[in-house]
């Protein structure tokens, strides 16, 4: 399987996009002495990443070895504007991407830990990437969605201050628990659905939901689970029934960009049809499948066969632990993985599905942990020895960090799709 990369333009709300881009361009043309940091109102809760692992929104962040943190942070301290370092003490570099560096910092007055994502915005492409992310982050404020504390904008760089989380990824938590039942799965999925439902209520489609982007705020058992990584998120697609030539109104324009992570990508995206926020619900169906089994519903070493399986919605509840999983849980997954986007559950409907609403009260409390862990280990071992079929877009040139493994990204372009569709 070959690996490649492509640049795919993300859509954002016209109002949000234009205002942020105009702001960034204005800062770029101005002298730095004339600029003051623009601050986002402080909010509570949220996180962006787990320390020293995946941190990105557009270029996937590469981890930095612990022993090099101090050297790396010292090197990048000089790049930080004095008005940023006056408020935050730079502690360690924890990741880097195409246009960005992420460092762990400490607020000088409160001593609270945060993360600062520094983005270079001189290049037009970088400005667009930054504008897309800011347009979304400046709108969100929910306990199950990553929060931005404030933002500093200068001619060459933009600094996003984000809350720091150390609880790890969803699947890492499943493995570390030692005991995992359907009730535990519903508890996690309810938090994810709350976050996704909130995003959809704002007219935001995430477009890259997957376990890697679902992070716990802290290691405790009562930690909130957070939706993160808004590099591909956009305003638009929330109105149902998008057709060729149709236009969105307040939610932006029709979503057409082929982007996301292949194993969680809805068929209509692969088919390059206009699509809606129901692509997020398809991804949640795939996530639920993985959480309950440790396996992907759509997975194949052949990319052509993988495309075919996704576009046909061809998957099975095969192997362990599926015989021990309730029919109600399977029904929940099936209702999210419908080929017809209009028939998929919405986030609100999914929350009220009997399996989720009752927290699997009628399901067996059998421990699924052993089978899930074994399947995850097999999947990760396979992924580490071959070029994965994962897909990102929009300036994703750096290595992808997923579940602790360094993975080079691969992309699905229009040419790739046409080639594979011809084979099918």
Q: What φ, ψ does residue 162 adopt, rounded to 5°?
A: -125, 150
Q: CB within 8 A of 385, min separation 6: which ones?
A: none
From CA 321, how far away is CA 399, in angstroms rounded? Answer: 32
DSSP-assigned states of every residue in 153-210: E-SSEEEEEEE-B-S-BHHHHHHHHS---HHHHHHHHHHHHHHHHHHHHTTEE-S---
Check: CB of residue 284 under 8 Å from CB of residue 252: no
- Bridge partners, residue 120, by sequence: 157
Check: CB of residue 161 under 8 Å from CB of residue 150: yes
Is residue 280 part of the annotated active site? The answer reads no
Q: For tokens 């362990």, name the residue.
A: 320
From CA 159, how far away is CA 22, in angstroms rounded? Answer: 17
The DSSP H or E segment spanning 76 is: helix 69-77
DSSP helix/strand/coil, 397: coil
For the beta carbon of residue 116, count every other beta carbon within 10 angstroms: 27
DSSP helix/strand/coil, 311: helix
DSSP-assigned states of every residue in 279-293: HHHHHHHHHHHHHHH
Distances (CA, A) of 311 to 63, 271, 340, 421: 34, 8, 11, 10
**CA dihedral for 250, 256, 262, 265, sign (positive or negative):** positive
From CA 165, how far away is CA 209, in angstroms rounded? Answer: 18
Strands 400-402 and 214-216: what pairing?
unpaired
Q: Which of 208, 212, 229, 396 is catalytic?
A: 208
- 210 labelled as ligand-binding? no
Give the HSE-up count for residue 244: Cα atoms under 13 Å, Cβ half-sphere. 2
Q: What are the binding residues for ATP?
A: 117
Q: What are the binding residues?
A: 117
Active site residues: 208
């Amino acid at each position: 399987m070959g690996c490649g990369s492509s640049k795919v333009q993300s859509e954002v709300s016209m109002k949000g996009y234009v205002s942020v881009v105009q702001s960034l361009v204005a800062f770029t043309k101005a002298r730095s002495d004339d600029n003051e940091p623009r601050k986002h109102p402080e909010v509570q809760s949220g996180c962006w990443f787990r320390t020293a692992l995946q941190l990105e929104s557009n270029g996937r962040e590469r981890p930095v070895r612990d022993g090099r943190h101090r050297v790396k942070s010292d090197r990048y301290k000089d790049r930080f504007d004095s008005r940023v370092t006056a408020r935050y003490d730079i502690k360690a570099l924890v990741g880097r991407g195409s246009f960005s560096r992420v460092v762990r910092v400490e607020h000088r007055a409160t001593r609270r830990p945060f993360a600062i994502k520094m983005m270079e915005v001189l290049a037009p492409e970088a400005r667009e990437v930054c504008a897309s992310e800011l347009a979304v982050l400046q709108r969100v404020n929910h306990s199950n969605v990553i929060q931005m504390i404030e933002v500093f904008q200068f001619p060459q760089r933009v600094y996003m201050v984000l809350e720091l989380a150390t609880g790890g990824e969803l699947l890492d938590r499943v493995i570390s628990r030692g005991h995992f039942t359907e009730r535990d799965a519903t508890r996690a999925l309810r938090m994810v659905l709350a976050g996704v439902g909130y995003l959809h209520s704002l007219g935001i489609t995430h477009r890259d939901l997957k376990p890697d982007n679902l992070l716990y705020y802290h290691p405790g058992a009562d930690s909130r689970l957070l939706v993160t990584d808004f590099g591909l998120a956009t305003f638009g697609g929330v109105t149902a029934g998008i057709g060729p030539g149709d236009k969105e109104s307040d939610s932006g324009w029709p979503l057409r960009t082929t982007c996301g992570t292949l194993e969680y990508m809805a068929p209509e995206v692969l088919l390059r049809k206009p699509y809606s926020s129901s692509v997020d619900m398809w991804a949640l169906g795939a996530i639920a499948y993985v959480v309950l089994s440790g396996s992907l519903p759509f997975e194949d070493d052949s990319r052509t066969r993988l495309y075919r399986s996704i576009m046909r919605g061809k998957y099975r509840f095969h192997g362990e632990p599926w015989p021990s999983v309730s029919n109600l849980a399977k029904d929940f997954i099936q209702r999210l993985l419908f080929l017809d986007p209009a028939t998929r559950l919405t986030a609100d409907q999914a929350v009220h599905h009997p399996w989720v609403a009752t927290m699997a009260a009628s399901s067996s409390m059998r421990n699924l942990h052993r089978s899930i862990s074994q399947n995850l280990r097999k999947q990760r071992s396979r992924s580490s020895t071959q070029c994965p079929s994962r897909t990102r877009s929009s300036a994703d040139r750096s290595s992808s960090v997923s579940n602790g493994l360094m993975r080079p990204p691969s992309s699905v372009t229009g040419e790739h799709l046409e080639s594979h569709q011809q084979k099918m």
